Structure 1
Amino acid sequence: MISQGTAFTFAVIFGIITVLLVRSRDVRAWEAVCVGLFGVYLGQTSVVFTIHSLVIWMISGFSHT
């Protein structure tokens, strides 16, 4: 289960990335995914649990040594 603190942290991180991307006016595919994730975390829809699990899985895969 996702806590409010974790959801807030991810929403802030993806929000900062979104602001920087909008200011640059150059959005690629991975950047569009970041903007979409910001919307999901900000909206707290019912699918946020599945997406959060996927994000954590991807982060742990990239940081696995």
Structure 2
Amino acid sequence: MPDWHPMLAAEERDPGTWTMVDPDGREYGVIEIRRLDGRIVYRVTVMGRPAGYTGTLRAKA
């Protein structure tokens, strides 16, 4: 599907937690907003495996 982009498939099911869903409805990633050492960061998990923390959503896109 050429017009589909993963960032358009983010579902905020719980406050501060975004679930990434592919065109077939399968979950492939989770982004959670967290506070770490006084900073606001995003915890990224892809395919059930931790991908790390980032200060911006663009950094892991």
TM superposition score category, shorter chain reference: under 0.3
Answer 1 or 2: higher relative contact order, Cα 8 Å, separation at least 6: 1
TM-score normalised to structure 2 length? 0.25
Question: Which of the two has greater strand per residue?
Answer: 2
Greater share of helix: 1
